[in-house]
Structure 1
Amino acid sequence: MIPHRIVLASVAGLVSAFLLAACDSSSDASATAPAAPVTSAAPVTPAATATPAPATPATTAPAAGNAVTITVRGADGVVTDGNGMTLYRYAKDEPNPSKWTCSGACVKTWLPVIVQDSVRTQGVRQSLLGTVHRNGQKQLTLAGWPLYRYVGDTAAGQTNGQGKDGQWHTLTASGAAG
């Protein structure tokens, strides 16, 4: 039984390492393009409800065919994904035009919010959403700021990345630093 678990853990580790290496294939932030409105790629529709948080950190890309949900958490007004995981902006990124600067080792800690299909919103104006091209994928932006998840947030509602290195901040529905 234990050798079986070791093999499964090894395979999972190798797959994770491969995926992280694929995400890190380019560190040239100057190759980004201006943000394109999310609504031009797919319709943005209101979300009905948020789903419970996963037991493990969120991944960088949703499964094919899944929509990304962006919502505003209750009293603190912090922007989260549909699982209640806090979203962050990086002070070194530039909102106008959108540019991402987090690359290499940075994206192993700060996971870009990649969109493939539609984006649903609740409490966030869809006109503030857009995308920036990142290594052949589309990273979601809010008010021009590329969005990230923090691997140190392992449950919904956590804001462990707030203020990290004086550069990482939660966002409000307007895109302002939280």
Structure 2
Amino acid sequence: MRLPTKGDSLIPRRTVPNLVVGLASVFLLGACGSSTGTDPASVAPAAPATSGPAPSASAASAPGDTGSSESGHPATTTSVMARSMKSIGIVVTDDKGLALYRYDKDQPTPSKWTCSGACTKTWIPVIVQDSVQTSGVEHSLLGTVHRNGMKQLTLAGWPLYRYIGDTEAGQVNGQGKDKEWYAVTPSGQKSAPTS
């Protein structure tokens, strides 16, 4: 074992502070890279905003879209599945088993959403990150539409929403509301009551 000599430093290298500074730099650069751009939907006033056609089946869109939903509810979804619901048949639900809805005033081609402002407090846009897993839903029918710097999931071009009145899996309390809101089927159609 070698003993330190007069010329050696007894103070250990300052690797921990350097590591902390390096990690802080990475986080700061990451935060700068995730800021939202000037997507037309994000700068539009309360008027309905539009977007181009739904992107690829991976439900991926332009990078840099982050944030929380307009209503303050973080409504990020990671999977969608087909599920049989009492009285209306098979509909699409999110990863928590909550029914997903489409709005007759929205448009599927190109995908356009019209529910904004106070509407999104009752009908919460289904927000996704990069990819969505599917079960019983044709993956090629999925896409996204830009919504204020985020990506709202679409099915057959229809933007998807959750209804605030559905508080647990299996409920479809939003079905037929105002004769414009309907639980969505795996093919993107609006569901109808079954006999």
TM-score normalized by the length of structure 1: 0.70
Question: Is the partner of 1:107 in helix, strand or coil?
Answer: helix
Q: Is this contact kept in 2: 1:88–1:148, CA < 8 A?
A: yes
Structure with more helix by fraction: 1
Identity within the alignment, %: 59
Structure 1, unpaired ranges of 5+: 1-22, 43-58
Which residue of structure 2 lines up, in the alignment, with residue 19 of structure 1? Answer: none
Which residue of structure 2 lines up, in the alignment, with residue 122 of structure 1? Answer: 135
Instruction: Flag the 1:142–1:32 CA change in 2: closer, same or farther, 3 A.
Output: same
Cα offsets for 1:36-94 (capped at 9, x unmatched): 1241628xxxxxxxxxxxxxxxx4432xxxx6110000362111001110000000000
Which residue of structure 2 lines up, in the alignment, with residue 140 of structure 1? Answer: 153
Cα offsets for 1:112-139 (capped at 9, x unmatched): 0011132000000000000001111110
Separation in 2 of the partners of 1:106 and 1:80?
Answer: 20
Q: Is this contact kept in 2: 1:89–1:171, CA < 8 A?
A: yes
Instruction: Name the count of aligned residue pairs.
Output: 137
Say which of 41, 51, 54 aligns to 1:32: 51
Say which of 110, 114, 136 aligns to 1:101: 114
Separation in 2 of the partners of 1:163 and 1:150?
Answer: 11
**Equivalent AA in structure 1 for residue 56 of structure 2:** P
**Equivalent AA in structure 1 for residue 99 of structure 2:** T
Question: Is the partner of 1:131 in helix, strand or coil?
Answer: strand
Separation in 2 of the partners of 1:40 and 1:174?
Answer: 16
RMSD: 2.3
Which residue of structure 1 lines up, in the alignment, with residue 79 of structure 2? Answer: 69
Runs of 4+ aligned structure 1 residues displaced above 6 Å come to none
1:171 aligns with 2:184: yes
Which residue of structure 2 lines up, in the alignment, with residue 8 of structure 1? Answer: none
Deviation at 1:34, TM superposition (A): 2.3
Separation in 2 of the partners of 1:32 and 1:114?
Answer: 15
**Equivalent AA in structure 2 for residue 71 of structure 1:** M
Structure 2, unpaired ranges of 5+: 1-41, 62-72
TM-score normalized by the length of structure 2: 0.64
Q: Is this contact kept in 2: 1:69–1:81, CA < 8 A?
A: yes
Q: Is this contact kept in 1: 2:51–2:110, CA < 8 A?
A: no
